[in-house]
Structure 1
Amino acid sequence: MLAVLLCAAASVVRAQSVCSSDGWCWSNPLPQGNPLWSVWGSASTDVWAVGDAGTILHWDGSAWSGFPSGTTNILYSVWGTASTDVWAVGTSGTILHWDGSAWSASESGTPNYTLRGVWGSASTDVWAVGGSGTTLHWDGSMWSQTSSPNWDLSAVWGSASTDVWAVGAAGAIVHWDGGAWSLVSSGTDNSLYGVWGSASADVWAVDLRGAIVHWDGSTWSQTASSPSSGLSAVWGSASTDVWAVGQAGTILHWDGGAWPTVAASGPTNSLVGVWGSTSTDVWAVGGYGTIVHWDGSAWSAFPSGATNNLRGVWGSASTDVWAVGEGGAILHWDGNAWSGFPSGTTNPLWGVWGSASTDVWAVGWHGTILHWDGGAWSPVSSGTNADLFGVWGSASTDVWVVGEDTAGTILHWDGSAWSPVSSGINVGLFGVWGSASTDVWAVGYDGTILHWDSSGWSVSAGGTPIFLNGVWGSASTDVWAVGDDFGGDARILHWDGGAWSSVSTGTGTMSGLFAVWGSASTDVWAVGLSGTILHRQ
């Protein structure tokens, strides 16, 4: 499966990386890897998708590209009346508006509540719904709060300005008749996450336990269920053409008589948003930046790439880069595309480094050490069963490996064998790099940073609540360390020759980073969870 996904990604040229203003770009997955929550468009050549960390993507009919949102808040829903009038809502009462040229913030007046759904009947009649029964209304000039039953609401849709439905927690369904919101019995106590209809007497709602309920103009009743997979969103082009998507890549289709499952090729990540311009042009989005498309005959994954957690990256040149990760994954970049290589192990690999294109080391769990000789990867005895996380050397006869057991494991390769060296600490080490044989850095748990000056290892920093997983530099005065905080968010530190300082990724990625490498100070790669690959250029 890995090789198939990589080949698919390499063969499609319509994927464009999403870049930040400070030069970090997504390289894998493409177009980016943050979870996406909602998708909507005004036409087949004007589609928006929104997600975590303020992510906003746009499809112009040929490629997905990133747009600055001005926020790092999660965006849960997007909807509009036209290509120049689009709304996105999210956490902390975030409301953004697209006027055809830029996204700008709109005051919601509800900073303490998450907004999860947005829909309207016209540019002067838009609803946003969210936590604790929040129902906001846009009249063309401002947002105002309306009174509604106190239920957390997840989605909103209507057939007209006097017929609007919002669904949410514990089976809550509320209805707007043009004058007030009222609670309507749903027939289920499962939390509902998506709602859509083709007409006032044909409305569907779905929930995370797989239930599907239907409004026929007089009552809501359960019509079907997908007990093995929860459902998150629903949309259709007509009463006989309705799609429901959900967990583990579940896709169901209503043809007017039944809800059969429809398979999608590619990743089985959860899908949480669905929309289409016609019955033959439907998009669904979800976890890890997943984007899948229906062309009228089959669902296919938009080019993404491997989504193994990647832990290590190194290269001998800009056209010869290796990345390693979970399941023994080894990927190679030739300057144009990433492709998979057999590793001979299923142990997670965490570090990779080489002295040349024909002398590359990869290390991982249970003392795993692999060597690339230019033709194949083969195992080499490490003499330990400790989990190994980082590898670096100044030459083919001077290579360091760091890891974790009861203390900070450090191994050294002298050209013929691996031998242990005392670290002097009792916490795990995850990354190692140096500018010379007398200037080597090792990083690890609790923000630990060790330095080797040829006589011994000494502590340079530590005691901060972050994991430092990887370290690399272009010179002794330009060193990068990457990792994550205890909440899993990406962290990047920089050494300028005198001190370590924190640096923002600028991409809003919520995925932890595990390794960093570059060919120069202006060409730096960082890799991490869910196939995340960032590039500083």
Structure 2
Amino acid sequence: QWQNPLPQGDTLNDVWGSSATGFYAVGEGGTVLFYNGSSYSEMDTGVANTLSSIWADSLSNVYSVGDSSTVINYNGTSWQSIDPGMGNKTLKGVWVAGTGDIFIVGTVGSYGIYNGTDWTSGDLNVSTQNVLDVWGASASEVFAVGGNGEIHFYNGTDWSAMDSGFTGNHLNGVWGTSASEVFAVGGGGKIVFYNGTSWETMSTPGVTTPLRAVWGETSDNIFAVGGSTGTSTVVNYNGTSWEAMTPAETNRDLKGVWGSSGSDVFTVGNNGHIAHYNGTSWDTMPQGVFFGFIYDVWGTSPTEVFAVASGGNILFYNGTSWDAMTSPTAREHYAIWGESGSSVYIVGNLAIEGKSLYYNGTS
């Protein structure tokens, strides 16, 4: 069964963590909640924009993105804003390669890439569709998905369009185990799979609501979440077929999913909803510090999890409780990712300041 984190009523959009005692949830108002295994605390991000996505490689290197080109990074101590040079874009997805290269995607086909020294930005093949998520097997094997079933591939030098065989609906999330095993989820409960050569549509019986995010432990234990107003959707892939799971609450639109293992999985959504899967049942996680939209979640371990939310809110979970982090902006955060707990990036709607956010473990 799933459990709900009320009282915290803002929508949470994404979740990431490193273990059951350390994860983050992000959402409306720049909210980032941190859970330490027992309770939630809200982190001070300094931003008020909605945060949509979160990603990290440890609790001290976390990135989140959102409205108005918001990108913030957490370094293990505090959150800082970063300028990706993308102008007034709503940023939807962030992913960081093992080399430290950062990939950000957003509205109207926009992207930004950081190579460790400089940012470059542009449009994916002059696409007019919004790019909603990004994931890679390496810095030269990166997949971006978005509106009208569009999928773009980056080979380390150039972007090229791929034929997904899926049109008419958005692809909202992407994740894989390698460049030859990639899953993308989207509207109408659709899931497409890339085998290294071509994309194919997978069977998802009985699932008709939009799927918004996907994460897996292995190729035979994958979770996809979504929903619509008044409806929650959670499905699991066992290596052979997708099967529906019973959510903690049936009336939450789930925005993000992340786990440190197949028995330590977090999902976030509207009205501050956070739920945890222990390998047997889903349970709500009461956190009581934020009640709006949480858009994305990412972590490094069960005791180090970040979540980004609307109004620039950032939440941090230390394995015991969720706390608010100080954010330098009040703009929306949509995505978060990091290299470690002391190097975290958040992107979102931060066009006026022309910044993204970076956390260095202190500020």
Name the TM-score class by shorter chain.
Answer: 0.7 to 0.9
Matches within 5 A, 1:370-449: none
Match of 1:208 among 173, 183, 187: 187
1:56 aligns with 2:48: no
**TM-aligned CA deviation for residue 202 of structure 1:** 1.0
1:58–1:123 Cα change, 3 Å:
farther
| Count of residues in Structure 1 that have an aligned counterpart in Structure 2 | 286
Match of 1:263 in 2: 246
Match of 2:233 in 1: 250
**TM-aligned CA deviation for residue 267 of structure 1:** 4.6
For residues 21-69 of structure 1, give each alpha carbon's deviation from its aligned partner in whole angstroms, at most 9, with x where no partner exists: xxxxxxxx33x22111111123433311110110111122222210011
Distance in structure 1 (CA, Å) of the matches to 2:21 and 2:28: 23
**TM-aligned CA deviation for residue 141 of structure 1:** 3.5
For residues 90-118 of structure 1, give each alpha carbon's deviation from its aligned partner in whole angstroms, at most 9, with x where no partner exists: 01000001011001111122231110000
Match of 2:264 among 258, 281, 284: 281
1:300 aligns with 2:283: yes
Distance in structure 1 (CA, Å) of the matches to 2:251 and 2:287: 12
Distance in structure 1 (CA, Å) of the matches to 2:272 and 2:117: 34
1:140 aligns with 2:120: no
Higher strand share: 2
1:171–1:232 Cα change, 3 Å:
same
Match of 2:214 in 1: 234
Q: Classify the secondary structure of the residue corresponding to 2:105.
A: strand
1:141–1:47 Cα change, 3 Å:
farther
Unpaired runs of 5+ in structure 2? Answer: 289-310, 312-329, 333-363
Match of 2:134 in 1: 156
For residues 289-342 of structure 1, give each alpha carbon's deviation from its aligned partner in whole angstroms, at most 9, with x where no partner exists: 11111000011122379xxxxxxxxxxxxxxxxxxxxxxxxxxxxxxxxxxxxx
1:185 aligns with 2:163: yes
Distance in structure 1 (CA, Å) of the matches to 2:256 and 2:262: 16
Q: Classify the secondary structure of the residue corresponding to 1:132.
A: helix
Counterpart amino acid of 1:179? T
Distance in structure 1 (CA, Å) of the matches to 2:165 and 2:217: 26
Distance in structure 1 (CA, Å) of the matches to 2:270 and 2:190: 21
TM-score, length of structure 1 as denominator length? 0.51
> More deviation in 119-128 or 251-260?
119-128
Q: CA RMSD in A?
A: 2.4
Distance in structure 1 (CA, Å) of the matches to 2:79 and 2:65: 12
1:70 aligns with 2:46: yes
For residues 128-153 of structure 1, give each alpha carbon's deviation from its aligned partner in whole angstroms, at most 9, with x where no partner exists: 10111111112223432145222310
Higher helix share: 1
8 Å CA contact retained: 1:148, 1:180: no
8 Å CA contact retained: 1:127, 1:138: yes
Match of 2:178 among 172, 186, 199: 199
8 Å CA contact retained: 1:36, 1:49: yes
**TM-aligned CA deviation for residue 123 of structure 1:** 5.7
Structure with bigger gyration radius: 1
Match of 1:113 in 2: 89
8 Å CA contact retained: 2:18, 2:259: no
Match of 2:57 among 72, 78, 81: 81
Matches within 5 A, 1:348-367: none
For residues 65-92 of structure 1, give each alpha carbon's deviation from its aligned partner in whole angstroms, at most 9, with x where no partner exists: 1001111111111111222211110010
1:154–1:262 Cα change, 3 Å:
same
RCO comparison, higher one (Cα < 8 Å, 6+)? 2
TM-score, length of structure 2 as denominator length? 0.74
Distance in structure 2 (CA, Å) of the matches to 1:286 and 1:239: 25
Distance in structure 2 (CA, Å) of the matches to 1:98 and 1:239: 30
> More deviation in 133-142 or 240-249?
133-142
8 Å CA contact retained: 2:16, 2:23: yes
Match of 1:170 in 2: 148
Match of 1:535 in 2: none
Q: Classify the secondary structure of the residue corresponding to 1:63.
A: strand
1:509–1:62 Cα change, 3 Å:
farther
For residues 351-372 of structure 1, give each alpha carbon's deviation from its aligned partner in whole angstroms, at most 9, with x where no partner exists: xxxxxxxxxxxxxxxxxxxxxx
Distance in structure 1 (CA, Å) of the matches to 2:73 and 2:118: 12
8 Å CA contact retained: 2:100, 2:116: yes
1:120–1:246 Cα change, 3 Å:
same
8 Å CA contact retained: 1:242, 1:255: yes
8 Å CA contact retained: 1:264, 1:301: no
Match of 1:457 in 2: none
Q: Percent identity, please.
A: 35
Q: Classify the secondary structure of the residue corresponding to 2:72.
A: strand
Match of 2:355 in 1: none
Match of 2:76 in 1: 100
1:221 aligns with 2:200: yes
Matches within 5 A, 1:22-37: 29-30=6-7, 32-37=8-13
Distance in structure 2 (CA, Å) of the matches to 1:145 and 1:79: 20
8 Å CA contact retained: 1:203, 1:214: yes
Unpaired runs of 5+ in structure 1? Answer: 10-14, 16-28, 306-488, 490-507, 511-537
